[in-house]
């Protein structure tokens, strides 16, 4: 099967993907491939906002300094300066697209700015406590209405089509992608001169996560299998405050709740953050997450509590309407009682190595957003820098793609299913899925040891072999493809963590608790490691 000809394939429909599509569509034909509905990824779930310097009392230099401080000495300063420096322009572009941010008539900027952990100033532009949803629904209308943008929903990318895969003796290049139609179970090949990976992070590799089900590390795994370098995968950000409730799947209690005065308490009402860090509740996420993890394990607790009752009911309902409504659905009135919270896997700080134009090691292939590693986040992402990076790098990647006038063959080989059959036992997939995520949670979590990591590596390699065997012999399904991607990502996280013999940012090792004087990124590159390609 083949699809209509297109100029650019975009895998993923979060902010990075839809921004790229809208920017490209003025001159190019664009195809967005998304594994569920157009709005189904982590961008839509983002509550807090977008960090940008708009206030005269603030400065780009201070935003840079906050980002570098949170990044634990591992940020690329040039990347930080470039992305932070584009903050105002990014907000202006979103505003021209029609995004309506929360206003503040008393403020010179006209918008309400809030503060989050690790920021020295109020610089978070937001739409109440549902910024991501406001941005995504606005962009979705434009995407669906644009004549140059086509959308394939419920389609899942399988693998990139590269010059190596095609047996061509030339510089490494991406020619397109193989895609599974989830509803029909058929696979199509799509060719284009340029492919953009905007597939998000890999939170589903852990048992507990704030991420949607789509966050299975697809772009990172595909790029790795295609030969791209991957960096800093040991730095998985655990959000400190995920709602702890049996019916509250992956619901995040925004950083802004602490930014607006929320206090973390033990079950007896005692505050504990001042004993862990002088910045208390406004410390960066890694500090707060480790403190909560420490208190939970020290006292054998199920959770801790986030208390903002002292701010008054009107304040809470007006600032956090989405969070308030969800908590009320679960019988928790956050205006009258503290909210039970636990840390959960939240953001993948590492990813596919790119430059500041989103270019990867494969010509014609770009990666932007959470799936990429630009050097902005270093060892720990500063709150609300992620959506900023999505817009800034989307604009940069689009500029490069529009200037790259390369032509490639319009046809690529069809998917070969001649040597596979229907799977005999789907239980293999569900069993391996559960085991992988539990292994990562128990052995590769907030606090790590070499022994735990080595155990995780052993189990993951066994699982990888089982999944590889299954993949080679049976027709692909969405669950199998996501599991295949997650086991590759898990392997990358563990290898990166084992290679870092220090504690820095989000990576804390009991065996190496000290921080080395100089920071170096962890960069992994494929050599002769076994792959799960079909030959």
Residues 479-531: tens digit of each pLDDT: 999 999 999 999 999 999 999 999 999 999 999 999 999 999 999 998 744 33
pLDDT of amino acid 108:
81
pLDDT of amino acid 404:
86
pLDDT above 90 for 63: yes
Q: CA separation (Å) from 190 to 157, 164, 193, 365?
A: 10, 17, 10, 14
Please give the helix or strand (H or E) that residue 258 lies within, else none.
helix 255-259
The percent of residues above 70 in pLDDT, for the chain, comes to: 97
The whole-angstrom separation of Cα 65 and Cα 83 is: 13
How many CB atoms are located within 10 Å of the residue 455 CB? 16
Q: Report the candidate in 311, 462, 365, 380 with the shortest Cα–Cα distance to residue 74.
A: 380
Cα 43 to chain centroid, rounded: 9
Range in 2-11, 120-129, 172-181 the model is least confident about: 2-11
Sign of the CA dihedral 393, 396, 400, 401? positive
- In the chain, list all ranges with CATH 1.20.58.100: 427-513
476 SS3 class: coil
Q: Is the CB of residue 46 less than 8 Å from the CB of residue 132?
A: yes
User: How would residue 535 be classed by pLDDT, with cut points 50, 70 and 90?
Assistant: very low
- In the chain the first and final C-alpha atoms are separated, in Å, by 20
| DSSP alpha helix (H) spans, 304-449 | 313-319, 321-329, 385-403, 427-443
pLDDT above 50 for 445: yes
pLDDT above 80 for 250: no
Range in 47-51, 299-303, 345-349, 431-435 the model is least confident about: 47-51
User: How would residue 420 be classed by pLDDT, with cut points 50, 70 and 90?
Assistant: confident
CATH number for domain 241-344, candidates 3.30.70.1560, 1.10.8.60, 3.90.700.10, 3.20.20.100: 3.90.700.10
Mean pLDDT, residues 328-337: 96
pLDDT of amino acid 377:
96
pLDDT above 60 for 532: no
Active-site residues, by number, are: 285
pLDDT above 90 for 1: no
The whole-angstrom separation of Cα 326 and Cα 451 is: 40
pLDDT of amino acid 408:
67
The whole-angstrom separation of Cα 237 and Cα 435 is: 21
Q: Which residue has the higher pLDDT, 44 or 137?
A: 137
pLDDT above 80 for 441: yes
Q: CA separation (Å) from 175 to 128, 376, 464?
A: 42, 28, 27
User: How would residue 223 be classed by pLDDT, with cut points 50, 70 and 90?
Assistant: very high
The whole-angstrom separation of Cα 476 and Cα 481 is: 7
- Provide the mean pLDDT of the chain: 91
The whole-angstrom separation of Cα 463 and Cα 445 is: 19
pLDDT of amino acid 410:
60
pLDDT of amino acid 38:
87
The whole-angstrom separation of Cα 313 and Cα 309 is: 7
Mean pLDDT, residues 367-373: 97
pLDDT of amino acid 13:
94
- In the chain, list all ranges with CATH 3.90.700.10: 241-344
Cα 238 to chain centroid, rounded: 12
pLDDT of amino acid 99:
93
pLDDT of amino acid 409:
59
Mean pLDDT, residues 85-114: 90
Q: Report the candidate in 443, 532, 438, 429 with the shortest Cα–Cα distance to residue 488.
A: 532
Which residues contact residue 270 at a Cβ distance below 8 angstroms, ignoring those fewer than 6 apart?
none
Q: Report the candidate in 202, 34, 1, 158 with the shortest Cα–Cα distance to residue 475.
A: 158
Mean pLDDT, residues 179-192: 93
Which residues contact residue 431 at a Cβ distance below 8 angstroms, ignoring those fewer than 6 apart?
none
The 10 Å CB-count burial string (b at 16+, else e) for 357-368 is bbbbbbbbbbbb
Q: 427-513 adopts what CATH topology?
A: Methane Monooxygenase Hydroxylase; Chain G, domain 1 (1.20.58)
List, in sequence order, every beta strand (DSSP E) within 209-368.
230-231, 236-243, 263-265, 304-307, 339-348, 351-353, 365-367
Q: Phi and psi at residue 350, in whole multiples of 5°?
A: -90, -175
Instruction: Tell me the whole-structure pTM to 2 decimals.
Output: 0.89
Place of tokens 């925004």: 254
Mean pLDDT, residues 282-311: 91
Q: Report the candidate in 73, 331, 370 with the shortest Cα–Cα distance to residue 237.
A: 370
pLDDT above 50 for 291: yes
Q: Is the CB of residue 159 less than 8 Å from the CB of residue 13?
A: no
Q: Is the CB of residue 186 less than 8 Å from the CB of residue 412?
A: no
417 SS3 class: coil
pLDDT of amino acid 104:
83
């Amino acid at each position: 099967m083949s699809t209509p000809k297109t100029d650019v394939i975009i895998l993923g429909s979060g902010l990075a993907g839809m921004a790229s599509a809208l920017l490209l569509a003025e001159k190019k034909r664009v195809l967005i491939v998304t594994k569920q509905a157009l709005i189904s990824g982590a961008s839509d779930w983002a509550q807090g906002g977008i960090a940008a310097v708009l206030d005269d009392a603030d400065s780009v230099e201070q935003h840079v300094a906050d980002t570098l401080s949170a990044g634990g000495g591992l940020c690329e300063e040039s990347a930080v300066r470039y992305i932070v420096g584009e903050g105002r322009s990014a907000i202006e572009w979103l505003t021209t697209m029609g995004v309506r941010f929360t206003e503040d008539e008393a403020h010179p900027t006209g918008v309400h700015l809030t503060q989050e952990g690790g920021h020295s100033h109020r610089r978070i532009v937001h739409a109440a406590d549902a910024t991501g949803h406001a941005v995504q629904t606005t962009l979705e209308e434009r995407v669906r209405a644009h004549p140059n943008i086509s959308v394939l929903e419920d389609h899942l990318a399988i693998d990139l089509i590269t010059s190596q895969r095609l047996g061509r003796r030339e510089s490494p290049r991406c020619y397109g992608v193989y895609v599974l139609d989830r509803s029909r179970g058929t696979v199509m090949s799509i060719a284009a001169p340029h492919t953009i990976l905007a597939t998000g992070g890999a939170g589903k590799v852990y048992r507990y996560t704030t991420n949607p089900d789509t966050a299975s590390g697809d772009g990172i795994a595909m790029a790795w299998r295609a030969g791209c370098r991957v960096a800093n995968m040991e730095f998985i950000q655990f959000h400190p405050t995920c709602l702890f409730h049996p019916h509250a799947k992956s619901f995040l209690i925004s950083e802004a709740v602490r930014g607006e005065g929320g206090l973390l308490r033990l079950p007896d009402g005692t505050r504990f953050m001042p004993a862990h860090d002088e910045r208390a509740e406004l410390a960066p996420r890694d500090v707060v997450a480790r403190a909560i993890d420490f208190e939970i394990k020290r006292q054998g607790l199920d959770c801790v509590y986030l208390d903002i009752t002292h701010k008054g009911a009107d304040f809470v309902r007006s600032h956090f309407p989405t969070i308030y409504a969800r908590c009320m659905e679960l019988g928790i009135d956050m205006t009258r009682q503290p909210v039970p919270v636990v840390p959960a896997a939240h953001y993948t700080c590492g990813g596919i190595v790119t430059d500041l134009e989103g270019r990867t090691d494969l010509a014609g292939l770009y990666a932007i957003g959470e799936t990429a590693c630009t050097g902005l986040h270093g060892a720990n992402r500063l709150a609300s820098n992620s959506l900023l990076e999505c817009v800034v790098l989307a604009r940069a990647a689009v500029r490069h793609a529009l200037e790259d006038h390369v032509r490639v063959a319009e046809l690529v080989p069809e998917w070969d299913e001649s040597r596979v059959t229907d799977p005999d036992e789907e239980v293999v997939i569900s069993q391996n899925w559960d085991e992988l995520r539990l292994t990562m949670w128990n052995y590769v979590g907030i606090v790590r040891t070499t022994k735990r990591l080595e155990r995780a590596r052993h189990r993951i390699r066994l699982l990888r072999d089982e999944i590889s065997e299954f993949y080679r012999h049976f027709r692909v399904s969405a669950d199998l493809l996501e599991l295949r991607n997650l086991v590759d990502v898990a392997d990358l996280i563990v290898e990166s963590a084992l290679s870092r013999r220090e504690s820095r940012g989000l990576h804390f090792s009991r065996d190496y608790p000290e921080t080395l004087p100089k920071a170096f990124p962890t960069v992994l590159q494929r050599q002769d490691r076994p792959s799960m390609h079909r030959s």
